[in-house]
Structure 1
């Protein structure tokens, strides 16, 4: 059976979020990150459903009350208590593919906390656990390949965009060559072209240059990417080299891609220890009829929104302030995983399930 990896703009049943644990990495700023997640939920439920994995019954009851007070339709909000390590659903969530008959399949890849940097056993188990709880409406297949959703982008037509720094990193699949990785991706995703970026990184990024922090497909012919215009910024050389790589890429028909440069926000630093944080406008989320855009209280926010408006003229753009999110080295897209049409059960599954 041949499957095709779906682009993010494919119609969705909903998105998946993983709510932070009170005793997790967000404990010192729990109220702040919860406020950001609440904004994501309120914005998304205007258009589709949101599945939230919550750490315990108390959290489930509390946020149910909160969203009821906000007027979020109960039919679009689905909570399930599940064991987790952290909040980055983009990287521990399922990756969806479709066959020629329109049948969906979810792929569950191995998640190791970005090459063993952080605990990830519960997050790695989460997709299978949700399958056992009856959440998914389609089959689930497990893969041994270490792969995170934030590390890949597709045009939905057989082309994959990714970075060497992530997919070829020895901390992911050390025994596999580039050819081995490409062969596995071709088998799983039905792709026949991989566009490899050699350059590009963000300080404070734990993911080894996930593509969703750097360059994103907006449609099969358009790529939005981060550009640094400050020659004195340490990012400038690598991002300038990345821009040249993107300019050299060609579509399947030989035409250049339409490239949309996203602005470079002012440097953001952690208030506790002063290290630089990975603020990027490339970490936007495409949902049904809307695009959620991370903002940072920066003058470049407006420029970024205008740039993405040109890429998504048929979508409503919704800014989501993400200053708190980058404190833990991710942003909006990293917190979410889209669930394409046909992946969520249509009946209301239990609000609470205990493992």
Structure 2
């Protein structure tokens, strides 16, 4: 039986949490790479702050860099960090039957205990954010990340088998076990399972297939999905598979889904190989949509599609190339607190 319900991300927000990059691969190997990371995280924070207050969690050693880039545009919470992907290390906020907020702690373990990841500090962030928000923390029985789920706010959710059934996360769990936990913690009456994420995200330095660069609900019954139109890219086959699964699906209310393809950027590769650049990985917050752009010829078309999908909200595009070079996008570095 459901104890909580996760609101749709399109519901009003009280605040957005982010985490400032402070070390490791996120900052890179050179001073120039470090500044590129800081500047990009800051650009996203400034865009979000136009619509919703931002709290930036900052490792004490990075405080001066954060303040140099952000000044008084955000509030600060000093906590030790390994990394800077707040969607994944932070809690997922839900409402109980009385409407009070609670924070689900998904037992973050470095995206399935990956050899390159560190998570001793990040595994404590969900509890610390819950404390900052003065909400009850609820420990989940599974390992998951915020980027591994997307909900419509009415009992339907999207997830990938490659993440939720990953032996590095939930080695003993079945799909039914995962569904039961999502029902309990998120109010999910129906899980629409996709098999995997995008190609790059399934490689060594990826998450093993987060759903939040593949598909998302724009509203109940309407799903935006990543449409790789170039047959040369291996994600072309994945997009076709995703479309087929979504076309066959119904939501918790028995409705067929209306699908909105969002073309992938024309850019196919970077120096590391096939890219997973995706316009799906955006943040909807209050009157704004903070969207990824890539200095790509499809940027404008994607922005138009998002504007149509979220009428009445201003689409603000931020260059996310430096984010994707480090493994994620705008949705990955933000986490919303629903309006109280």
Aligned twin of 1:18: 19
Larger radius of gyration: 1
Aligned twin of 1:316: 314
After TM superposition, list the pairs within 5 Å mapping 1:112-151 onto structure 2: 112-117=109-114, 118-131=117-130, 134-151=131-148
Alpha carbons of 1:30 and 1:182: their partners in 2 closer, same or farther (altered >3 Å)? same
Aligned twin of 1:94: 91
Q: Could you tell me the TM-score, scaled by structure 1's length? A: 0.88
Aligned twin of 1:50: 54
Aligned twin of 1:210: 210
Hey, what's the Cα distance between the residues in 1 that align with 2:199 and 2:329?
A: 12
Greater shift, 228-237 or 317-326, is seen at: 228-237
State the Cα distance separating 1:282 from its structure 2 match.
0.8
Alpha carbons of 1:96 and 1:204: their partners in 2 closer, same or farther (altered >3 Å)? closer
After TM superposition, list the pairs within 5 Å mapping 1:332-347 onto structure 2: 332-342=330-340
Classify the secondary structure of the residue corresponding to 2:303: helix
Hey, what's the Cα distance between the residues in 2 that align with 1:198 and 1:184?
A: 19
Aligned twin of 2:37: 33
State the Cα distance separating 1:66 from its structure 2 match.
3.9
Alpha carbons of 1:42 and 1:25: their partners in 2 closer, same or farther (altered >3 Å)? closer
Aligned twin of 1:60: 63
Matched, 1:3 2:4: yes
Does the Cα contact within 8 Å between 1:277 and 1:329 map onto a contact in 2? no
Aligned twin of 1:349: none
- What is the number of residues matched between the two proteins? 331
Classify the secondary structure of the residue corresponding to 1:25: helix
Q: Could you tell me the TM-score, scaled by structure 2's length? A: 0.92
Hey, what's the Cα distance between the residues in 2 that align with 1:13 and 1:217?
A: 20
Hey, what's the Cα distance between the residues in 1 that align with 2:60 and 2:269?
A: 32
Per-residue displacement from partner, 1:121-140 (whole Å, max 9, x unpaired)? 11011122344xx5113211
Does the Cα contact within 8 Å between 2:93 and 2:104 map onto a contact in 1? yes
Hey, what's the Cα distance between the residues in 2 that align with 1:143 and 1:199?
A: 22
Classify the secondary structure of the residue corresponding to 2:153: coil
After TM superposition, list the pairs within 5 Å mapping 1:224-303 onto structure 2: 224-271=224-271, 274-303=272-301
RMSD: 1.8
Alpha carbons of 1:174 and 1:304: their partners in 2 closer, same or farther (altered >3 Å)? same
Per-residue displacement from partner, 1:38-74 (whole Å, max 9, x unpaired)? 21121111122111111125x3244335434xxx55x
Alpha carbons of 1:51 and 1:268: their partners in 2 closer, same or farther (altered >3 Å)? farther
State the Cα distance separating 1:270 from its structure 2 match.
4.1
Hey, what's the Cα distance between the residues in 1 that align with 2:182 and 2:215?
A: 19
Greater shift, 163-172 or 245-254, is seen at: 245-254
Does the Cα contact within 8 Å between 2:6 and 2:95 map onto a contact in 1? yes
